[in-house]
Amino acid sequence: MDYGKLFDSLKGGAVGTLFPAREPAMNGAHFDGRIEKRLPTSVPVYLASLDEPRSRERTVTENVSPHGARVVSQRFWQSGEESLITPLRGEFPRVGRVIYCLPKTVDRFCLGVEFPDRTVKWGEHSSD
């Protein structure tokens, strides 16, 4: 499929203004769809599926925001799967929804988890 032609055919149509990915959209600034800034913070956590909360793994975050985190896992997760993330210090367990899961190495995955209902205070738990 020629996405350039598709984009050109949709410009100015009933769908409104379209901006190609990674194209300047707001006063020359790039917008990646995130409202909150992510901080590269390694926080030790327990990660478990809500379906099997007793089979948890001890792991770390790669980056965090008040409503989400990128977490390393030993297994593949489905988008939409519910997870239980418990920082080893201070915070209570949080239920999150997996937004994406990408391979990191042969036996590790990175998953993006969203916490839509509550804010997590990651800064108090940083190991940096």
Question: What is the residue-level pLDDT of the chain in tens, covering all 128 positions?
Answer: 444 554 454 444 444 444 443 333 344 444 455 667 888 989 999 999 999 988 999 999 999 988 999 999 999 999 999 999 999 887 788 999 999 999 999 999 999 999 987 777 775 544 43
CB 77 within 8 A of CB 83: yes
Is 110 buried (19+), middle (13-18) or exposed (0-12) by CB count in 10 A?
middle
Phi-psi region of 90 (alpha: psi -120 to 50; beta: other; left: phi over 0): left
Q: What per-residue confidence (pLDDT) applies to 32?
A: 52
> Could you give the CA distance from residue 90 to residue 21 in angstroms, rounded to a whole number?
39
Query: Global pTM?
Result: 0.68
CATH-assigned architecture of domain 44-125: Beta Barrel (2.40)
- Pinpoint the residues of the chain covered by CATH 2.40.10.220: 44-125
> Could you give the CA distance from residue 88 to residue 125 in angstroms, rounded to a whole number?
8
Residues forming a β-bridge with 29: 26
Structure tokens at 4: 């350039």
Q: What per-residue confidence (pLDDT) applies to 34?
A: 61
Beta strand 108-114 with 94-105 is antiparallel
> Could you give the CA distance from residue 45 to residue 11 in angstroms, rounded to a whole number?
45
